[in-house]
């Protein structure tokens, strides 16, 4: 093992250049033609794993060989999130400027734990989150920080709520302290499962999460929330936080944030707003109202990687008092102490993760490349397409809509005359599998009021009216076929 650089360094720079151009072309072709792949991968469980060797190669392989295997072995096992027919879950886009930013970010490989370890990454995060905050119409008291996912953003929000309510928790913890009241977090029965995971992790237990019933349009009922809080107080529970959602995962319903915020202020309870998917719509003229009341929240999460064309992952937590997050977590071992010319923000202080990728770069490039008006127009177009699809459902006697369509997701089901009520769930489940098997579209499902509901979500920049029409044609066609089998 000698120090021969040709053997011990990185890939030869000119080989890298050649391969980078190859990958650039491949991605350019892919983005232009992603609709030609089956959107949902067609492999069987275990098929990809069994096509790969059971050990790493002993000697290095050329990138050419590796890339061939990527195309031959892995690509058939990819579900194409950048396919125009991807209508499942929340449809997202890894847009071109975001992809270029990720490429640069990987090349730089900066780790923004301290200001010093990359001043540009730290300060660009501050600047882009301030841009986004203004676009959303949030007051400037809100300070922002980037995490990977909404699960982690919300976890930090609830940790800050716990820190505020029980400042001793950092040092003394929750266990074995008989004087501490049990704590309660409130959300609706439509709220995302990340809240369950957060209360488990925080040591509060799932029993601490009280799910408030929602109304006919899947919105949290403030009267039920008020009753629950009063009941809990009477039973010596400590109300810790309420999570209100703007754009729930099932039906994209909007909790009545103004009423919930007023209640939280009266009761001195932390209000966290989960606007992970739909929050960005607040920048669209006519949609400012969706974040009404959020100006009184303590924290709010919004995910540019969901519906703001930013490659996964990038979640933003806005917090009225970021010092509470820091109070919960900041600690600086000697090896990370730095002295700077002026006070600086060290991003490692606002979270449990020490290391941080240079994620702000992709948000910055996306915001600049599309521009505020460009983003607004694209979001509005997705909502227009969703309303259009909903209008076809509404006009059809063979389908019915199962929820309002405030944003870009439509919940519906087939309702053919020939199918008995008791068989509708099974019928729609078969319909889902049937249309997904075409490879042209990928939709997902949920349950609303106990009924199996199909979900069509629009959020990819490659999706046009053509793809939405095609989805509708396929659904009608397959529903008809299934009735006759």
Residue 95 binds its own copies (CB under 8 A): yes
Residue 5 binds its own copies (CB under 8 A): yes
Contact with its own copies (CB under 8 A) among 77, 137, 404, 416: 77
Q: Give the E-state strand segments of 246-335 in sequence order.
A: 270-274, 299-302, 315-319
Query: In 3-state terms, what secondary structure has residue 447?
Result: strand
Please choose, from the candidates 298, 303, 302, the residue with its C-alpha nearest in 3D space to the C-alpha of residue 319. Answer: 298
User: From residue 429 to residue 458, what is the string marking binding to its own copies with x (rule CB under 8 A)?
Assistant: ---------------xxxx-------x---
Residue 426 binds its own copies (CB under 8 A): no
Q: What's the closest the beta carbon of residue 355 comes to its own copies, in angstroms?
A: 5
Q: What's the closest the beta carbon of residue 437 comes to its own copies, in angstroms?
A: 12
Provide the CA 130 distance to its chain's centre, in angstroms.
Answer: 20
Q: How far apart are CA 76 and CA 86, in angstroms?
A: 16
Residue 26 binds its own copies (CB under 8 A): yes
Tell me, what DSSP letter sits at residue 246? B
Query: In 3-state terms, what secondary structure has residue 457?
Result: strand
Instruction: Provide the token pair at 359.
Output: 């994620």
Contact region for its own copies (CB under 8 A) — 256-264, 351-359, 392-400, 476-484? 351-359
Q: How far apart are CA 74 and CA 66, in angstroms?
A: 11
Q: What's the closest the beta carbon of residue 267 comes to its own copies, in angstroms?
A: 19
Residue 313 binds its own copies (CB under 8 A): yes
Q: What angle do CA 52, 57, 60 make, to 5 degrees?
A: 125
Q: How far apart are CA 280 and CA 387, in angstroms?
A: 18
Residues 30-69 that bind its own copies (CB under 8 A): 30-32, 40-41, 43-49, 52, 54-63, 65-66
Residue whose CB is less far from its own copies, 399 or 442: 442
Q: What's the closest the beta carbon of residue 396 comes to its own copies, in angstroms?
A: 22
Q: What's the closest the beta carbon of residue 94 comes to its own copies, in angstroms?
A: 3
Q: What are residue 412's phi and psi, to 5 degrees?
A: -160, 175
User: From residue 138 to residue 157, what is the string marking binding to its own copies with x (rule CB under 8 A)?
Assistant: ----------xxxxx--x--
Q: What's the closest the beta carbon of residue 324 comes to its own copies, in angstroms?
A: 13
Residue whose CB is less far from its own copies, 121 or 324: 121
Omega before 313 within 30 of 0, i.e. cis: yes
Torsion sign, CA atoms 130, 254, 91, 185: positive
Residue 72 binds its own copies (CB under 8 A): no
């Amino acid at each position: 093992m000698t120090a021969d650089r040709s053997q011990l360094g990185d890939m030869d720079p000119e080989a890298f250049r050649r391969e980078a151009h190859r990958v650039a072309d491949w991605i350019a072709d892919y983005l232009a033609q992603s609709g030609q792949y089956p959107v949902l991968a067609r492999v069987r469980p275990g098929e990809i794993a069994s096509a790969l060797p059971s050990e790493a190669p002993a000697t290095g392989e050329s990138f050419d060989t590796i890339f061939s295997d990527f195309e031959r072995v892995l690509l058939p096992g990819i579900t194409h999130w950048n396919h125009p027919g991807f209508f499942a879950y929340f449809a997202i886009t890894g847009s071109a400027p975001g992809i270029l930013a990720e490429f640069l970010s990987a090349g730089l490989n900066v780790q923004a734990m301290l200001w010093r370890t990359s001043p540009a990454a730290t300060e660009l995060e501050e600047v882009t989150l301030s841009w986004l905050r203004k676009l959303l119409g949030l007051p400037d008291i809100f300070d922002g920080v980037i995490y990977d996912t909404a699960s982690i953003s919300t976890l930090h929000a609830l940790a800050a709520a716990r820190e505020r309510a029980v400042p001793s928790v950092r040092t003394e913890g929750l266990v074995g302290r008989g004087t501490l009241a049990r704590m309660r977090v409130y959300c609706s029965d439509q709220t995302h499962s990340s809240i369950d995971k957060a209360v488990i992790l925080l040591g509060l237990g799932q029993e601490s999460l009280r799910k408030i019933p929602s109304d006919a349009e899947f919105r949290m009922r403030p009267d039920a929330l008020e009753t629950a809080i009063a009941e809990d107080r009477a039973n010596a529970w400590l109300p810790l936080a309420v999570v209100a959602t703007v754009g729930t995962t099932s039906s994209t319903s909007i909790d009545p944030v103004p009423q919930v915020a007023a209640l939280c202020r009266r009761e001195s309870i932390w209000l966290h707003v989960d606007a992970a998917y739909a929050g960005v719509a607040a920048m669209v003229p006519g949609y400012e109202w969706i974040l009404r009341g959020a100006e009184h929240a303590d924290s709010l999460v919004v995910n540019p990687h969901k519906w703001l064309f930013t490659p996964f992952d990038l979640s933003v937590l806005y917090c009225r008092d970021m010092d509470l997050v820091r109070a919960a977590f900041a600690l600086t071992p000697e090896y990370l102490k730095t002295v700077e010319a002026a006070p600086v923000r060290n991003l490692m202080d606002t979270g449990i993760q020490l290391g941080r990728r240079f994620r702000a770069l992709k948000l910055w490039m996306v915001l600049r490349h599309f521009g505020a008006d460009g983003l607004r127009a694209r979001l509005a177009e997705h909502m227009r397409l969703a309303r259009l699809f909903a209008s076809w459902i509404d006009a059809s006697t063979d389908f019915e809509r199962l929820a309002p369509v405030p944003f870009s997701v439509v919940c519906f089901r087939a309702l053919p005359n020939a199918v008995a009520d008791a068989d509708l769930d099974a019928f729609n489940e078969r319909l889902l599998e049937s249309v997904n098997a075409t490879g042209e579209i990928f939709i997902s499902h949920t349950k609303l009021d106990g009924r199996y509901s199909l979900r069509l979500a629009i959020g990819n920049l490659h999706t046009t009216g053509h793809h939405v029409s095609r989805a509708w044609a396929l659904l009608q066609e397959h529903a008809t076929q299934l009735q006759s089998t």
